[in-house]
Amino acid sequence: MPAKERKIAIMGFRSVGKSSLTIQFVEGMFVDSYDPTIEDTFERSYTSPRGQEYKLQLIDTAGQDEYSLFPTNYAMNINGYVLVFSVNSRKSFEIVQIIHEKILDQTGKQGVPCVIVGNKADLRMERVVTAEEGKALAEKWGAKYVDASAKENQYVNDVFDGIIQQIEMAEGSTSAKGCLIS
């Protein structure tokens, strides 16, 4: 089986740990101060638990807020979205919901492959958004929720395993529909 190329956008409010999660996954380390303003694309090959090989392109976006115009290139050619908030910021959790609405608006779809990440789970004392809230939101969207820590490398792989699973599920359901029609 040839490697499938898939593009994943990492989105969320500023400073939630988008770059830290991406770099932890791609390079296996925690970079404490990464330029927050730049958008960068990272590549990694990855084999899914089902044995499918992937060439992943991870678009580590510069971050969004409630006023951001949604870039149309994030609506096209993206196979899945990792929407990150920080468990110590209620506002960042709200921004995830705003971004999700904009994605649906821009793509014209009812749902997109998506993983919601509650990052900085290591900051237990500062936590203001619970895992239950994250899970409830994910359930509402038919998405997956992961509590993670880029700093301690906790559940970072689950984030990316999760988005590949969501993408595979979405592709499986569309090809199934294709079979019904033909």
**From the CB of 132, what's the least distance to Mg ion, in Å?**
27
User: Site size for Mg ion, by CB under 5 A?
Assistant: 3
What's the DSSP call for residue 154? B
| Region binding Mg ion by CB under 5 A among candidate stretches 35-43, 50-58, 103-111, 129-137 | 35-43
Binding string, 24-53, against ligand GDP, x = CB under 6 A?
--------x-x-x-----------------
Q: How far is residue 91's CA from residue 178's CA, in Å, rounded to a whole number?
A: 40
CB 141 within 8 A of CB 45: no
Comparing CB distances to ligand GDP, the nearer of 36 and 172 is 36
**Which residue of 6, 10, 19, 164 would you call a contact of Mg ion, by CB under 5 A?**
19
Q: Which residue from 65, 57, 105, 106 is spatially nearest to 82, judged by alpha carbons? A: 57
The residue type found at 107 is T
Residue of the chain from 20, 64, 79, 89 that contacts ligand GDP (CB under 6 A): 20
* Min CB(23)–Mg ion separation in Å: 9
Q: Which of 64, 79, 89, 149 binds ligand GDP (CB under 6 A)?
A: 149
- Please check whether residue 39 is in contact with residue 143, taking contact to mean a CB–CB distance below 8 angstroms: no
**CA atoms lying within 13 Å on the CB side of residue 130:** 3
